[in-house]
Amino acid sequence: MGHTLAEKIIADHLLNGPAEVWPGDLVEVHVDLVLANDITAPIALREFEKLGVQRVFDPAKVVLVADHFTPNKDIKSAEQCAQVRRFARELGLPHYFDVGRMGIEHVLLPEQGLVAPGDLVVGADSHTCTYGALGAFATGMGSTDIAVAMATGQTWLRVPETIRIVYYGQLQPWVGGKDLILYTIGKIGVDGARYMAMEFAGPTVDTLSMDGRFTMANMAIEAGGKAGLFACDETTRAYVHGRVKRPFREYQADPDARYARVLEIDASTIEPQVAFPHLPENTRPVSQVGEVRIDQAVIGSCTNGRLEDLRIAAAILRGRRVHPDVRCIIIPGTQQVYLDALREGLIETFIEAGAAVSTPTCGPCLGGHMGILAAGERAVSTTNRNFRGRMGHVDSEVYLAGPAVAAASAVLGRIAHPDEL
What's the average model confidence in pLDDT over 393-420?
97
What's the average model confidence in pLDDT over 413-420?
96
pLDDT confidence tier of residue 16, bands split at 50, 70 and 90: confident
Per-residue pLDDT tens for 150-162? 999 999 999 999 9
Structural domains for the chain: 5-249+256-265 (3.30.499.10), 274-416 (3.30.499.10)
**Measured between alpha carbons, how far is 324 from 350 in angstroms, rounded to an integer?**
15
Element spanning 153, H or E: none
pLDDT confidence tier of residue 386, bands split at 50, 70 and 90: very high
Nearest to 118 by CA among 107, 102, 134, 104: 134
pLDDT confidence tier of residue 392, bands split at 50, 70 and 90: very high
pLDDT of res. 86:
94
**Is the model's pLDDT at 13 over the cut of 80?**
yes
What's the average model confidence in pLDDT over 272-297?
96
**Is the model's pLDDT at 256 over the cut of 90?**
yes
What's the average model confidence in pLDDT over 130-148?
96
On average, the pLDDT of the chain sits at 96
pLDDT of res. 240:
97
Per-residue pLDDT tens for 115-128? 999 999 999 999 99
Per-residue pLDDT tens for 86-116? 999 999 999 999 999 989 999 999 999 999 9
pLDDT of res. 324:
97
CA distance to 216, 289, 341, 351, per residue, from 316 (Å) = 22, 20, 15, 13
Of the candidate ranges 13-17, 239-243, 285-289, 371-375, the one whose mean pLDDT is the lowest: 13-17
Per-residue pLDDT tens for 184-197? 999 999 999 999 99
Annotate 78-119 with DSSP letters as a single string.
Answer: HHHHHHHHHHHHHTT-S-EE-TTT-B-HHHHHHHTT---TT-
pTM: 0.95
pLDDT of res. 102:
87
Nearest to 297 by CA among 339, 348, 354: 354
